[in-house]
A and B are shown apart, each in its own frame.
Chain A
Amino acid sequence: MSHFVALRLATLLLACDGLAALELAGLVSDAGTVAAALAALATWWNEPLRDRVNAVPGLARGFVLVAALASAVDLGYLAASMLDGLARLLLFLLLYRLAMRNAVRDLRDVAFLAFFMLVAAAPFTFGVGYLFVFLVFLVAGTWMLMLYHIAVESERATARPDAPVAGLGRDLLGLSLGASVATLAITGALFFVIPRIGQAALTLRTHTPRMVTGFSERVELGSFGQIETDGAIAMRVRIPEQAVGEPDRLPGLRWRGVALDTYDGRAWSVARRERSELWRSPTGEFELGRFQAMGPVLIQEVYLEPFGTDILFAAPRLLHLSVRANAIVVDDAGGVSVQNAAARFRYIAQSELESGASWSGEPLDGETRARFLQLPPLSAAVRALAREVTAGTRGAREAAAVLTAHLSGRYRYSLALRRTTTLDPVEEFLFVQRSGNCEYFAAALAVMLRSLDIPARVVNGFQRGEWNPYGRYFIVRLLDAHSWVEAYVDGAWATFDPSPRGSVEPGGPPAAVALYLDALRVRWYRYVVGWSLQDQVLAAVRLHQAALAWRLSAPDLRAWRALPRGLVMLAALVALLAVLLASRRRGAADARAALPTFYARALRTLARRGLRPGDGETAREFAQRVEAAVPPCAEPLARLTTAYEQVRFGIRPLTTEEATMIERSVLELRSRVAPFSGHPRSAAASRPPLQ
């Protein structure tokens, strides 16, 4: 491949990479990306068209003028945001430069435009796809810049635009790969070290998050049915290694969101929610509850996708929250929210899991109790069923458990929701359909509990999701949206999940490759997109601690004095021998590469006689000079010169016979020079003649 073909190829790669970046960011549609990529590829063969356009004076300039006007209109009136318009302008400029390339320098402009495409895409991408775009840009950009540099320098040196370029193809490819790796290493180091002092004060464009039902203050029965078929990822919950050994074996793990207290016969809602703003404590965390030593503590690192809710999900009961916000909003039903629904969000939550042990706490005050016992006019059949099922039970907890078992055992879980009567939805579920989704199960349990004078509330959230062992996190999808019930028993809120779905694993186990890729996505988000000042401080502290630990555990370097002297001397001797051996090998390798050893020896021998190759003197010229000065040396030196030329410039290595002959010639030369020797050795003796 010629230098210019390689340069064009690298430039085209960069252009396609820029396009991919815009596509990833959603700044160009899929169809637009494909069309632009095809147009970019077509520019490889467009020289005849370019020449025709250039042949018409002013045509190219007029084309640019029209495009500039169109861009101005696009930026001013048509584009959804300024960046959308700028992205289209960048795309046009890139294709124009590729198509109308007249000089090598135009290719540099393409590289710059591709870089600006990556810049334009940066604010809108969270995905790991950007990593691949970035890596391709780094490798192709490094290669392209090197090729471009050599082409421009050759052009400058010869003052010809079509100057031939020295064949450095493989050299440059290898060098650019090495430079890419080095740049990547430095980039990584700088990226993690540059202090994150910035705040998001300048928002160029905000993504509109997809809105899903089920997590607002009023939830119609059946609204989950729509999202329980949506496989989009809602969040990922990473469980740190030190928190719990095998989190996927924790029973009844679910992620609590919003609690609903009022049922009007059709929908659950929040009637009187008292919200309070909670400010961050000096330790940087939000304290939400007290540890009661009733169950294990679970630390969760949650990566919440923007799906249209400001609720923070976590395992119940939430104790601490660490989040990048100055304040959060906490309601009186244990719900936590933060004003950041438009972006991906990361937070760390600590929860004390329920263990099922009874704990006698304070009874609810009258007003609160009335709130969680509220019921619409209810059919007597529902109350009768509740009483019938719980007959003989002792206490609220047992009654709730029996009701839960009744529902999960006698009713069928189904997403095929259809109303066939005009009855109350709960009544229809209990006596007619006898099947439904988790919302119906939860609503039925809550209503029956309330009918038994047990305070209860419906909680919407997610069940635990798929466990990814490669990243130690749960992948929670929208189809994992779930409803369950919290009942106030024995002085505390306890979870009861009547839906048989909770014990069913959704689908088969995901493929290992998919899990690997998802783990890569999480790491990208965690360590690149979400890297923060707090992470930097933590990393520095850990490094410091590791250094301290090493210092304490490392052996005292001064202790070597106590070692037996013989051992020390032996070690020193071995080290010396190793150094000598290494230097000898290196010297031999160097001689092979630059000057054959036998010829170097011959030069040293002649240097004793005061004969050294002069500047610009070839080996043959030197041999002739030696012949004139010391005729007896002429014959062996002629043989050595021929052998030197063969080794240095020839392809065939020396045979054994030739090597023997050369050795003999060196000795012969030495013996013939010896009677005249007496000059001191000189460092210049080994200088080779001009090659």
Chain B
Amino acid sequence: MTSGRRVGWWLAWPRRTLWPTRDGWWCLGAALGLGFAAINTGNNLFYLLVSMLLGLIIVSGVLSEQSIRRVRVEPALPAELFAGQAALVAARVVNRKRWRTSYSITVEVLGGGHRAYLAKLEGGGARLVTWQETPRARGRWRVAGFKVATRFPFGLFVKAAQLPPSAEVLVYPAVSPISADRRRELAGTGGAPAPRRGRGHGLHNLREYRFGDDPRLIHWRSSAKSAALMVRELEADAGLDARLVLEGTGRGDPERLERGLAEAASLAVHLLEKGAAVELVGPGVHVPLGSGLAQRTRVLAALALFDPGAPAEPTRVVPPPSDARLRELRVPLG
């Protein structure tokens, strides 16, 4: 074998850890004691029993390797994670061997202590395992990795392989219902009708009554004209479009920074859900005005990745809103 091939083989060979269980220690102790007895008595049946114990240990090693070999864990992370909020995280455990079945596998999430036990995983098969995860802080987050372990077949040894993390997801700042003051402040500014169906005040359309419609929305005049019950469909009320301005650098007080970012995220989500367009401006951050789910993702991602320690770019001078419907909301970061 050339040195290159040897290195290649070494790299390709998966790293394993092997440690005896309590029963395994008993087995090793028995083998040692019997070996001692065999040497001292010269009794071949003792040698036979020692050989059997060693044979069991070897077969155990082969079968356990067979069980965890080519078993991969592919994390299936949710699209959105919010700091401090529990979410269901999944991973797909795949047996990439063609025919050989893996038995008695434990998949453990490193660092989290979550584990799942699979008694059997057929060759080529996959199983989805889920667990609850609560990210502590915003930013990039990835599963620390997985440990695939087995005590199969005899429970004498724990053989484990560590699989590195392979996917990451952005953890957005915590989003919570906005405070009553803010809500009043926003409500006080009134709203503008949006050209779509909603629960505002303006008339959007008239249609025939359907079972379950609010009787208060019956348009009696049209009903009288058409000899059929007609109801009003109302227009949606869109909030005022907003520019969120992050004030300060956030370098002084980390707690205040996180509070501010969480408030900004909550405001953005609230406004965007109301149908408003939102623009985000801050030190080193600028998300142009936009609305909808894509804008929500853009704003939250910008807030998740906000780094107060990054080289400070000069804040873009954004002209004051010329449109009266674009309201400026300031969020202090400290």
Binding site for B on A (CB under 8 A): 108, 112, 115, 118-119, 122-123, 125, 130, 134, 138, 142, 145-146, 148-150, 152-154, 156-157, 165-166, 168, 171, 175-176, 179, 182-188, 190-191, 194, 196-204, 528-531, 590, 593-595, 615-616, 690-691
Give A88 to B62 CA distance when docked, in angstroms. Answer: 37
Q: Tell me whether B240 is interfacial, beta carbon within 8 Å.
A: no
**For B41, B52, B155, which residue has the most chain A Cβ atoms within 10 angstroms?**
B52
Binding site for A on B (CB under 8 A): 23, 26, 30, 34, 37-52, 54-56, 58-59, 62-63, 74, 76, 90, 92, 98-99, 101, 103-104, 106, 115-117, 119-120, 123-126, 128, 151-155
Inside 8 A of B47's CB, which chain A residues have their CB? 191, 194, 196, 531
Inside 8 A of A198's CB, which chain B residues have their CB? 38-42
Inside 8 A of A188's CB, which chain B residues have their CB? 51
Inside 8 A of A168's CB, which chain B residues have their CB? 103, 119-120
Contact A150 B104 (CB under 8 A): yes
What is the CB-to-nearest-CB distance from A110 to chain B, in angstroms, rounded to a whole number? 13
Contact A202 B41 (CB under 8 A): yes
Inside 8 A of B39's CB, which chain A residues have their CB? 197-198
Closest to A105 in B: B23
Contact A179 B76 (CB under 8 A): no
Contact A203 B41 (CB under 8 A): yes
Contact A186 B44 (CB under 8 A): no
Give A153 to B76 CA distance when docked, in angstroms. Answer: 26
Inside 8 A of A187's CB, which chain B residues have their CB? 48, 51-52, 54-55
What is the CB-to-nearest-CB distance from B47 to chain A, in angstroms, rounded to a whole number? 6
Q: Which of B45, B56, B155 contacts A122 (CB 8 A)?
A: B45
Closest to B153 in A: A146
Give A203 to B123 CA distance when docked, in angstroms. Answer: 53
Contact B155 A148 (CB under 8 A): yes
What is the CB-to-nearest-CB distance from B102 to chain A, in angstroms, rounded to a whole number? 11
Give A615 to B23 CA distance when docked, in angstroms. Answer: 40
What is the CB-to-nearest-CB distance from B129 to chain A, in angstroms, rounded to a whole number? 11
What is the CB-to-nearest-CB distance from A118 to chain B, in angstroms, rounded to a whole number? 6
Contact B52 A200 (CB under 8 A): no
Give A184 to B41 CA distance when docked, in angstroms. Answer: 23
Task: Knowing A153-B119, A615-B92 are in contact, say whether A145-B154 is a contact too (CB < 8 A).
Answer: yes
Q: Which of A130, A165, A191 contacts B51 (CB 8 A)?
A: A191
Contact A171 B153 (CB under 8 A): no
Contact B117 A156 (CB under 8 A): yes
Contact B63 A179 (CB under 8 A): yes
Q: Which of B116, B124, B155 contacts A149 (CB 8 A)?
A: B155
Contact A182 B42 (CB under 8 A): no
Contact A149 B104 (CB under 8 A): yes
Give A194 to B46 CA distance when docked, in angstroms. Answer: 12
Contact A123 B117 (CB under 8 A): no
Give A183 to B55 CA distance when docked, in angstroms. Answer: 5
Inside 8 A of A202's CB, which chain B residues have their CB? 37, 40-41
Contact A590 B104 (CB under 8 A): no
Closest to B26 in A: A112
Contact A530 B41 (CB under 8 A): no
Inside 8 A of A595's CB, which chain B residues have their CB? 124
Contact A149 B152 (CB under 8 A): yes
Q: Which of A191, A196, A528, A616 contacts B76 (CB 8 A)?
A: A616
Contact A529 B117 (CB under 8 A): no
Inside 8 A of A142's CB, which chain B residues have their CB? 56, 153-154
Give A648 to B155 CA distance when docked, in angstroms. Answer: 34
Give A175 to B90 CA distance when docked, in angstroms. Answer: 31
Inside 8 A of A186's CB, which chain B residues have their CB? 51, 54-55, 58-59
Inside 8 A of B125's CB, which chain A residues have their CB? 691
What is the CB-to-nearest-CB distance from B72 to chain A, in angstroms, rounded to a whole number? 12
Give A574 to B39 CA distance when docked, in angstroms. Answer: 55
Cβ contacts A to B, 24 pairs, < 8 Å: A112-B26, A130-B45, A153-B104, A153-B119, A153-B155, A157-B116, A168-B103, A176-B153, A179-B63, A186-B54, A187-B55, A191-B44, A196-B44, A197-B39, A198-B42, A200-B42, A201-B40, A204-B41, A528-B44, A528-B45, A531-B44, A531-B47, A593-B123, A690-B128
Inside 8 A of B26's CB, which chain A residues have their CB? 112
